Structure 1
Amino acid sequence: MSKVALKDTRISELVDRNYVHAYVLFYFGIRFYEYSELTLDQVCQQRGLKVDQVIREMEAPSHLQEADLPLVSYPIDLIIEYLKHSHFLFIKHKLPYIARLVESFKANHEDFRTVERDLKIVFPLFVEDFIAHIYEEEDTLFSYIQALERATKGRYLPTKLYYLMEKNSVQKFAMEHEAHDDEMEGIRNITKDYTLTPQAPLHVKVLYNELKGFEKSLITHARIENDILFPKAMALESKVKTSFFEKAKLN
């Protein structure tokens, strides 16, 4: 679609053609459900935005996906930094956007009244638990792995390292992590696996697609941790323990 055509297209049509447009508009301060009958050009004029800049963002290629990166070949410190960046995007970008979609959800349709009620109760609880899990993971698992990494370079206090290895276990972290792998089961149940009827309102289509996309990102994220981070971390832990106790015997 040409830029002229995009400018003269109603917001509801833009979003219906590509749900990602709603996400781009959101970060320009445009809630698609508040301006659905106006054209993109009209909304930009109202909001004091440069329509060409908004169009450039809407047409920009999507961000690089985890699956496109050779993470298995990355050193463990870079994998952790990558996962932390993903956490940041989840907490500061995606979740606030989806939360706003849930808050502003007005079903106006018999098929989705119960979904509206249940999501408004359950989603804030999901977000709270999810953020707590993320911060705990960074403060415990990631911190422990980074301490092991520093130890391989000789940067450690023997007593502190011994205490850390006695207190922590990568295998235990991995087992606990597996228990958190299906965090969105409740939301899937509420939305009946994000099932949309042909008559579903646009707001529902956008919300369900965002929830589905977020779950897909979580599955990929969990796979990176389970298949790449934990095996590397276990090997690192084993190496550090062997080296530590061999040096302890010599003293």
Structure 2
Amino acid sequence: MSRVSLKDTRIAELVDQNYVNGYVLFYFGIRFYEYFELTLEQVCKQKGLKTEQVIKELESPTYLKEAELPLVSYPVDLIIQYLKHSHFLFIKHKLPYIARLVESFKANHEDYLIIERDLKLVFPLFVEDFIEHIYEEEDTLFHYIQALEKASKGEFSPGKLFYLMEKNSIRKFAMDHEVHDDEMEGIRKITKDYKVATNTPLHVKVMYNELKGFEQSLITHARIENEVLFPKAMAIENKVRAAFFEKSKFN
């Protein structure tokens, strides 16, 4: 689609053509569901935005997203930085957008009245639990792994290390982590696995697409932790534990 036709395209058509456009518009301060009948140029004028800048972003989004990296070859500290970056994207970008879609969801359709009610009840609880889990993971698991990494290089106090290793275990973290691997099961049930039809309202299509995409991101995130982070961390823990107790024999 040419730039001329893009600026003259109704917001509803833009989003229907590519649901990602709704996300891009949202971060320009345009809540697409409030401007369905206006063209992109009309909305940009109302919001005081440069139409060309918005079009450029729609054509090639540069907003933050997860990178595809060969993480298995990375040292553990870089893997943790990558995971923390993903946490940032989840909490500061994706979840606020999806939350706004849920909050502004007005079914006006008997097929979606119960879904609207249930989503508005369950999604905020999911977000609260999810964010609490993220911060707890960074404060406990990531902190412990980084301490092990320092200890493997002789850069950590033996006293603090002993306390941490008595209190924590990578194996236990891994087992506890499995409990959180299907956090969106309830939302899937409410949305009937994000089922849409030809007559499904556009707002619902976008919302389901974002929920489904977020779930896929969580699956990828969990796989990185389970298949890359935990094995590397366990190897470091075993190495540090062996060295620590070997050293203790001579004290």
TM-score, normalization by structure 1: 0.98
Amino acid at match of 1:6: L
Deviation for aligned residue 1:65: 4.7
Q: CA 1:69–1:157 in 2, change beyond 3 Å: closer, same or farther? A: same
Aligned residue in 2 for 1:47: 47
Which contiguous aligned blocks of 4+ residues in structure 1 show a shift greater than 2 angstroms?
61-66
Instruction: Render the CA deviation track for 1:36-70: whole Å, top value 9, x for unaligned.
Output: 1000000001100001111111111576655x310
- CA distance in 2 between counterparts of 1:211 and 1:118 reads 14
**1:164-203 mapped onto 2 (5 Å cutoff):** 164-203=164-203
**1:29-40 mapped onto 2 (5 Å cutoff):** 29-40=29-40
Instruction: Render the CA deviation track for 1:59-113: whole Å, top value 9, x for unaligned.
Output: 11576655x3100000000000000000000000000000000000001111111
How many residue pairs get matched?
250
Q: Any stretches of 5+ residues in structure 1 without a counterpart?
A: none
Deviation for aligned residue 1:197: 1.9
Deviation for aligned residue 1:137: 0.3
Instruction: Render the CA deviation track for 1:140-175: whole Å, top value 9, x for unaligned.
Output: 000000000111111111111001001000000000
- CA distance in 2 between counterparts of 1:134 and 1:87 reads 7
Amino acid at match of 2:123: F
- CA distance in 2 between counterparts of 1:3 and 1:73 reads 42
Q: Any stretches of 5+ residues in structure 2 without a counterpart?
A: none
- CA distance in 2 between counterparts of 1:183 and 1:33 reads 28
Deviation for aligned residue 1:237: 0.3
Aligned residue in 2 for 1:215: 215
Q: CA 1:215–1:149 in 2, change beyond 3 Å: closer, same or farther? A: same
RMSD of the TM alignment (CA)? 1.0
- CA distance in 1 between counterparts of 2:65 and 2:128 reads 27
Amino acid at match of 1:15: V
**1:64-103 mapped onto 2 (5 Å cutoff):** 65-66=66-67, 68-103=68-103
Aligned residue for 1:110, secondary structure, equals: coil
Aligned residue in 2 for 1:110: 110
TM-score, normalization by structure 2: 0.98
Deviation for aligned residue 1:178: 0.4
Aligned residue in 1 for 2:132: 132
Q: Is the CA contact 2:44–2:51 (under 8 Å) kept in the aligned structure 1? A: yes
Amino acid at match of 1:21: N
Aligned residue in 1 for 2:231: 231
Aligned residue in 1 for 2:241: 241
- CA distance in 1 between counterparts of 2:181 and 2:86 reads 16
- CA distance in 1 between counterparts of 2:153 and 2:227 reads 25
Q: Is the CA contact 2:145–2:233 (under 8 Å) kept in the aligned structure 1? A: yes
- CA distance in 2 between counterparts of 1:151 and 1:160 reads 10
- CA distance in 2 between counterparts of 1:18 and 1:151 reads 49
- CA distance in 2 between counterparts of 1:132 and 1:39 reads 40
- CA distance in 1 between counterparts of 2:219 and 2:196 reads 22
Aligned residue in 2 for 1:21: 21
Q: Is the CA contact 2:65–2:89 (under 8 Å) kept in the aligned structure 1? A: no
Amino acid at match of 2:171: Q
Instruction: Render the CA deviation track for 1:172-220: whole Å, top value 9, x for unaligned.
Output: 0000000110000000000000001211111000000000000000000
Most deviating of 1-10 and 149-158: 149-158
Instruction: Render the CA deviation track for 1:104-128: whole Å, top value 9, x for unaligned.
Output: 0001111111100000000000000
